[in-house]
Amino acid sequence: MDPTARNEQLLDRRSQLTEGLSSLPYDLILYLNRAAIHSDLGYPDLAAGDGYRALLLADEVLNEGFEYHEQALESLQMHTAVPLPDVLAHGNLPQDELQSPETDLEVEDEAVKRLAILAQVRAYQILSLGLLLCGSLQSAASFCQRGLQLSPSNQELLDTKNNIVTVARRRLRRDDIDIDYPNLPDQGLVRREVYPWNDHEPDRFAPASLAELNERLSSMAPKCVVEVATLPVLLEGASSTDDYEIIPTCKQLGVFAKEDIAPGEVVLKEYSLLTANNRLKDSICDACSSDLPPLGSENEPVSCPECYDTVFCTQYCFDQAMERYHPAVCEKDVDAIAKDPDAFEADQTLYLLLLSRVLAIASHEEVNPLDVREVKYMG
């Protein structure tokens, strides 16, 4: 098949699976199918993400006490009345001798139990390979080893294990590295692009977009304006374009002064709710992350009347939070998530908390997260 036609076919299949997940969000088979499509499209990071969702749902199926057990079990039972789903018939997986998980399984339906364990192994295959391709070797090794505990003879996992070791030895320049080495590199890279299915990408350079940005900027930086700048494309080294008469350029948004600005004058004063703090019980405002005023001061901090642990530095911050995000998380017991992390995880937890704030704003304002005004025009 022509590569372009095959790519279009994969994108159509991805669209169908995504639509299916909107009505069956606990169906782990749909997640595994979409993970396989993402892998075929060349997005190992997205494949790993869907593989992890499938793994979590398999855990839900196998443990009656888990929160979404009934929903995940019901979704998986729909796949027991038909032959083995294609995504689980991958390679020799159905013929592999499977080991039961170390924890006691609480599901009595043997057909469902086998499907769930097969799904776990398939998820481990997708996760370990996807993370390896991203360069996250420590995480890839962890998922690969967990998969091999369930299916010790699985050839795909064994191949991935060997590849992880090979890449690790090359990156660390050591020949004594093995899969269980405790400090494998875990910071990876993926390509940055606008996905073909992303229909929420605005035209950042359109007059309407610039007008919206400048309207918001006027209250924060009255002497500045957002304009389109044409810049030369930056390259890491020599390029085939070096001899061109016309230098390759790209468009970017830039902030320019529209009036004279005096030395020492404040250029920008922005109020933002897109903030994060990973210190548990730290005395800072939940909305803007400023320090809370001391007790007994003229301006008393304001607590949410529903969840008293959430405190704001001023009535204004409280009002803004209630208007834009806080009702989405009020009394949801999310205060301890990603708080007080180890030092090496601190930056990652901040990213997670910033993302959760975007999702809270989007949920409360009933918009797509990509349309939240704080991030809508980020390039």
CB atoms within 10 A of CB 233: 10
**Is residue 184 classed as helix, strand or coil in its secondary structure?**
coil
Annotate 4-64 with DSSP letters as a single string.
HHHHHHHHHHHHHHHHHHHH-TT-HHHHHHHHHHHHHHT-HHHHHHHHHHHHHHHHHHH-T
Q: Which helix (H) or strand (E) holds 318?
A: helix 315-324
Secondary structure of residue 194 in the 3-state scheme: coil
pLDDT tens per residue, range 4-40:
999 999 999 999 999 999 999 999 999 999 999 999 9
188/136 Cα distance (integer angstroms): 5
3-class DSSP assignment, residue 255: strand
Higher pLDDT, 217 or 239: 217
Q: Does residue 99 surpass a pLDDT of 80?
A: no
The Cα 78–Cα 375 span in angstroms is 39
Going by pLDDT thresholds of 50, 70 and 90, the confidence category of residue 253 is very high
Q: How many helices (H) and strands (E) does the chain have?
A: 11, 4
Mean pLDDT, the chain, whole residue set = 90
- Residue 379's pLDDT band (boundaries 50, 70, 90)? low
Given a contact cutoff of 8 angstroms between Cβ atoms, the answer to whether 186 and 139 are in contact is: yes
Domains of the chain: 3-172 (1.25.40.10), 207-257 (no CATH), 271-379 (no CATH)
Check pLDDT > 80 for residue 367. Answer: yes
Helix (H) or strand (E) holding 312: strand 311-312
Statement: residue 72 has pLDDT above 90: yes
Question: Where residue 220 falls among pLDDT bands split at 50, 70, 90?
Answer: very high
Say if residue 233's pLDDT is above 90.
no
Predicted TM-score (pTM) of this structure:
0.82
Position 238 pLDDT exceeds 70: no
Look at residue 151 and tell me whether its pLDDT is greater than 80: yes
Residue 223 pLDDT exceeds 90: yes
| Average pLDDT over every residue of 200-225 | 93
Q: How confident is the model at residue 308 (pLDDT cuts 50, 70, 90)?
A: confident
Q: Phi, psi (5° rounding) for residue 284? A: -130, 160
- The stretch 168-188 carries a mean pLDDT of 91
How much is the average pLDDT of 43-68? 96
Q: Which residues share a beta bridge with 182?
A: none
Q: What angle do CA 66, 15, 88 make, to 5 degrees?
A: 50
Encoded tokens for 270: 């922005």
**3-state DSSP helix/strand/coil % of the chain, to nearest 5:** 45, 5, 45
pLDDT class of 250 with cuts at 50, 70, 90: confident
Tokens 């806080």 belong to residue: 326
Q: Which residue has the higher pLDDT, 125 or 249?
A: 125
3-state secondary structure of 252: strand
Q: pLDDT band for position 184 (50/70/90)?
A: very high
The pLDDT value given to residue 191: 84
Question: pLDDT tens digit string along 321-355?
Answer: 999 999 999 988 887 787 777 777 788 888 999 99
Q: Assess whether pLDDT exceeds 60 at residue 103.
A: no
Minimal CA–CA distance to 33: which of 53, 14, 61, 7? Answer: 14
Quick count: other Cβ atoms within 10 Å of Cβ 353? 18
C-beta of residue 324 within 8 angstroms of C-beta of residue 361: yes
